[in-house]
């Protein structure tokens, strides 16, 4: 599944020149926790989160404070003093395209500690929609038949007498494989399928290629 399968095409965005109050009004009115900032061509240039807006509560800073501030602290002070979206926003914005896999989108959110990502056109950079953390959960609502068909397509070439059952995201696969080492690879492939929440593999093997032969002890030669 890709971002296009779960994204929202209704987006609340603000222009670079929007005032601090305008941004707050948009966040509160539409009950969102962040808004993309766009230029005149609707290209995403940054994003303002509720965390950015709350920095305003830090108030002004005293003269000379900047000398002792680190980079992160200076950025926070700049945002706290900002009056427009361009001065408050975090830039560049982390974006995805409609073709971005959901797993990649989830990884970007986790790594960058953000709860939503603007979806942009890969060529023009224009905003097309928004994908939120809650949207990514839709992957676990896939029909069991779709998951089963995809599991069969993955494992059938390697499993003899393959039987696959799917119940609320739990995949049970049984059958036989040629080598024991192939079982772990098959389970890994099943876990990569969108919507899978658990895997139970009841697979037999014809050859145990993971068995380690016991070391041969040197023969003791009797003294004569």
Give me the CATH code for the 3-138 domain, please: 3.10.580.10
Each as own residue / partner, the long-range contacts of residues 159-164 (CB below 8 Å, 24 or more positions apart, any chain) are 159/186, 159/203
CATH architecture assignment, domain 142-207 = 2-Layer Sandwich (3.30)
pLDDT confidence of residue 63 = 45
Q: Which two tokens stand for residue 131?
A: 């994908």
CATH 3.10.580.10 segments of the chain: 3-138
pLDDT confidence of residue 8 = 92
Using DSSP bridges, classify how beta strands 116-120 and 127-132 pair: parallel, antiparallel or unpaired. antiparallel
Whether residue 105 contacts residue 131, with contact meaning beta carbons closer than 8 Å, is answered with yes
CATH 3.30.70.1350 segments of the chain: 142-207
Rounded alpha-carbon distances, angstroms, from residue 52 to 73, 80, 86 = 13, 8, 12
Output the pTM of the full model.
0.69
Best CA proximity match to 7, nearest among 145, 114, 101: 101
Each residue's pLDDT tens digit in the chain (224 positions)?
899 999 999 999 999 999 999 999 999 999 888 999 999 999 999 999 888 888 886 655 544 455 445 677 777 877 888 889 999 998 899 999 999 999 899 999 999 988 899 999 999 999 999 999 888 888 888 899 999 999 999 999 999 999 999 998 999 999 999 999 999 999 999 999 989 999 999 999 989 888 765 556 656 555 54
């Amino acid at each position: 599944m890709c971002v296009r399968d779960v994204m929202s095409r209704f987006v609340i965005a603000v222009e670079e020149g929007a005032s601090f109050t305008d941004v707050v009004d948009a966040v509160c009115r539409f009950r969102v926790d962040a808004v993309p900032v766009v230029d005149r061509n609707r290209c995403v240039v940054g994003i303002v989160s509720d965390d950015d807006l709350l920095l305003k509560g830090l108030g002004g800073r005293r003269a000379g404070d900047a000398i002792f501030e680190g980079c992160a602290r200076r950025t926070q002070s700049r945002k706290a003093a900002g009056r427009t979206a361009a001065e408050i926003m975090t830039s560049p914005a982390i974006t995805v395209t409609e073709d971005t896999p959901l797993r990649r989108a989830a990884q970007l959110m986790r790594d960058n500690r953000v709860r939503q990502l603007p979806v942009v056109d890969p060529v023009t950079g224009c905003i097309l929609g928004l994908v939120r953390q809650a949207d990514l959960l839709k992957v676990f609502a896939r029909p069991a038949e779709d998951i089963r068909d995809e599991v069969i397509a993955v494992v059938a070439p390697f499993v003899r007498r393959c039987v696959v059952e799917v119940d609320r995201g739990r995949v049970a696969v049984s059958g036989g494989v040629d080598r024991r080492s192939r079982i772990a690879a098959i389970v890994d492939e099943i876990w990569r399928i969108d919507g899978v929440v658990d895997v139970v593999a009841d697979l037999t093997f014809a050859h145990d290629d993971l068995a380690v032969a016991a070391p041969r002890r040197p023969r003791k030669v009797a003294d004569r």
